[in-house]
Structure 1
Amino acid sequence: MSVTTLIIVHTVSMFRDGLRLALSATPDFKVVGEAGNGQQAIQMVDQVDPDLVLMDIDLPGVHGLEVARAIKRSHPHIAVILFGPVNDGSSVVKAIRAGVSAFIPPSIEFAELLETLRQVRRGEYPINDLVLSSPEVAATVLEAFRQMVGDDDTQTVFSPLSARELEVLELVAAGRTNREIATLLDISNQTVKNHISSILRKLAVNDRTQAVVYAMRRGWIKVVLPNGS
């Protein structure tokens, strides 16, 4: 089993201690560093080059979003996971644009955190499943996607995706979870996962959100919010 290295960035030392202790009992993750503020985090990333950075958004000095941007600019292969207010659509949009892989509530259960870490390690993008269940947040995030459609680099080309894959991707764009997509399309959860893996491979993107933005910019899909608006 390969070990995934990570650093923990949080102002509260007791939080870091508790999380490090909990992760030490998990053989597939290894904490290789800790930081208490944004500047320390950037320096530590440069020194140890971890696979993941698990970081609070509300940091003194350099804000967590700025730290995430700095990390993704200089180390694009490092995945960043932010603890933050998941009911704040603006912060979620900024996190997505900063290249954050997951945006999770500070109150998340440890078992769910572990699953999120493993999803990110596999190259998945669990931000939809954990955050976009709130209609207000979904509306804010999806409106930001709509605005991207008008970017100068928008282009319409032949879609390499099948009709079913486009159906799946539209539901992903609407903030639906894999389970919901499976129910709506009357297919298995594993089939949904297979479709998403195929979409990412065909579009040569790393995550679900990149696939949505890519497809919307080319006019392959439209976004309809879960309430039909």
Structure 2
Amino acid sequence: MPTDTTFWIAVIFAVSVLGLSKGGFAGVGGIATPLMALFLPPLEAAALLLPIMILQDAISVWFYRRDFDKRNLMIMLPGAVIGIAVAWGLAAYISDSAVKFGIGFISLLFILQSWFAKAPEADAGLPSVPSGVFWGALSGFTSTLAQQGSPPFQVYVLPQRLPKLTFVGTVAIFFATVNAVKVIPYFALGNFSTRLFTVSLMLMPLAVLTNMFGFWVVRVMPTILFYRVAHVLVFVISLELIREGLVGMFWR
């Protein structure tokens, strides 16, 4: 595990962005894992962040405990468990380079969708149950391999135009459950280590502070500029991960 100054700057930034994401800026946390995957093997990067995310999830679930959409959770969570199980079965057979490429590609698709997708119709109605199970499974799968479960989740939920706090609360409960379930395959795959967990513990006070800051910001600050900056960062990091993944798969 790297210990240079650049790594620590990156991990502090990643945890801070995760805190804002868990506090309510759903989606901006997508910066964290692609950034850490520049320094660590992708699944180790995910394992480093998972204990921090679980702590932040617990705080967020308590904070938004009255604001969530039960229908979406009942449809998507069973699918997410299926996706986690499939990712567990495949993780041992996928190279670090392939996972890097996958993280970059998924993140890039999310950014392009955010920038160029047509706005949903106001009267589109509720999406179907089978599509919710599918997108929940894809969210669980990508979250397990790359901590990138937000894009598939948002594909299903965003068109419903839920009230802001209801959307944020639904995100909090969904990913709190997904991250708790992911502990099982991460332990089974041997992704946790004493050194990684020590770093996670050191960063938890920062995680709590940024989480609390996110609760405040989501209520008082316009989000459009923040999202634009975050999306540009994800875009740049995604291109670098795609480049590293392709080099690792085809030129080494």
Length-normalised TM-score, structure 2: 0.29
- Higher relative contact order, structure no. (Cα contacts within 8 Å, ≥ 6 residues apart): 2
**Greater percentage in helix:** 2
From the CA coordinates, give the structure whose radius of gyration is larger: 1
